[in-house]
Amino acid sequence: MAREKEHINVAMIGHVDHGKSTLIGRLLYDAGEIPEHLIEKYRKEAQEKGKATFEFAWVMDKLKEERERGITIDVAHRKFETDKYIVTIVDCPGHRDFIKNMITGASQADAAILVVDVVDCVQAQTKEHVFLARTLGINQLIVAINKMDRVNYDQKAFEKCKEAVAKLIKLVGYKPEEVPFIPVSAYYGDNVFKKSDKMPWYNGPTIREALDLLKPPEKLIDKPLRIPIQDVYSISGVGTVPVGRVESGVLRVGDKVIFEPPGVVGEVKSIEMHHEPIKEAYPGDNIGFNVRGVSKNDIRRGDVAGHPDNPPTVARDFTAQIVVLQHPTAITVGYTPVVHAHTAQVACRFVELQKKIDPRTGAVKEENPQFLKTGDAAVVKLEPTRPMVIERVKDIPPLGRFAVRDMGMTVAAGMVLDVTP
């Protein structure tokens, strides 16, 4: 039996109009993911309208039209297969959505495709997205130098833009020599799924091949057990049943578990997923599990279950890199908004503004700034007003990202660099 392919999430980043949507459409189209009935319908329309060739652009226009008419079509899942992976494209329409999606974990990306128009080359959002990708821990990058048709597939134009992008990504800490730079035309499909015959000077991979060269995502299954608790039920005849999603590690029937911050310990009697009993639960599984030795009142939403020999980290304070997304005035020491991390919501005090960094490059701009404003990126120290579990993003990524909320909006997003237990 063929082993199921591994999943990988890839973010599409780059300046507006450089061709992100077109590249997504092209990948889905060439991979055969645009539903056959839609292609059939469009082909017929094209014939009726006397369009000689059935072009990709026609499909893109039609899909856009349908989207604008509010028809949700089943290409929305944005998934396609390469030889090695099932790739899910995480689109980042707006800068803010991007960060929010990234940190809420709704769409954690394992890699990013940076789309750069060969003519306009590096622009403001190119810089921002590259820095954000790096900040949010996306360590693998593919650069698509797009719209090569606009420069007649000229190698010099490609090299010139490649050089500028290489300089930019190096500045934020990527290794350009490990990053594929691919001359493509998303519109015409050159070097996307198929090797182009218009650029004989290029011997590197296509986008599809570059995706297959990505390292598989780090396996959360090999990390310590963490189950942020969403709800706790008390079921008569059964007992206490916390419910949550396994973020890392493996939970087995018979395991001893500890819930932090309260520090209570119990034994797992049974595990259920989709109303079926299971013996083991893995990352991504939404489960309810019955624990003996713990009462409903001992634990609550926001607590995290783990194994006693490697318990969840309760933070006295934590150091984080944040980006201020929107704040009407300024963030100063003493500011105490609510931090949303995994299932926990805890008011946390800004106790140190350590340094302001360049949101484009990560270079230190100012040590010990007096305040932070919208658009600033910084390293700060936060102190929870009551005990909370939070982890370093490099140890357990899903428990190391957080949103800062206040006044009904997401004020900042961040990731945890260090924790003082």
Residue ranges for the known binding site for GTP are 14-21, 91-95, 146-149
Nearest to 339 by CA among 230, 263, 416, 397: 416
Residue position matching structure tokens 């226009």 = 61
Q: Which is nearer to ligand GDP, 22 or 196 (CB)?
A: 22
Q: Determine, following the binding rule CB under 6 A, whether residue 78 of this chain makes contact with ligand GDP.
A: no
Residue 25 CB, shortest distance to ligand GDP, in Å, is 7
**320 token code pair:** 């984080």
The span of 12-20, 264-272, 333-341, 369-377 binding ligand GDP (CB under 6 A) equals 12-20
Q: Determine, following the binding rule CB under 6 A, whether residue 129 of this chain makes contact with ligand GDP.
A: no
Nearest to 134 by CA among 321, 318, 7, 6: 321
Angle 381-385-388 from CA coordinates, rounded to 5°: 80
Q: Determine, following the binding rule CB under 6 A, whether residue 62 of this chain makes contact with ligand GDP.
A: no
Residue 141 CB, shortest distance to ligand GDP, in Å, is 17
The span of 1-9, 170-178, 180-188, 288-296 binding ligand GDP (CB under 6 A) equals 180-188
Residues 82-111 that bind ligand GDP (CB under 6 A): none
Q: Which is nearer to ligand GDP, 179 or 186 (CB)?
A: 186
Going by the annotation, the residues of the binding site for Mg(2+) are 21
Q: Give the binding-site size for ligand GDP (rule: CB under 6 A).
A: 15
Residues 187-206 that bind ligand GDP (CB under 6 A): 187
Residues 380 and 355: their CA atoms lie apart, in Å, by 7
Tell me which of 6, 149, 317, 395 binds ligand GDP, using CB under 6 A.
Answer: 149
Q: Considering just the CA atoms, what is the radius of gyration of the chain in Å?
A: 24
Tell me which of 125, 185, 319, 343 binds ligand GDP, using CB under 6 A.
Answer: 185
- CB proximity list for 316: less than 8 A, separation 6 or greater: 383, 420, 421
SS3 state of residue 221: helix
Reported residue count of the chain is: 421
Residues 235 and 105: their CA atoms lie apart, in Å, by 30
Number of Cβ within 10 Å of residue 50's Cβ equals 6
Provide the binding-site residues for ligand GDP, judged by CB under 6 A: 14, 16-22, 146-147, 149-150, 185-187
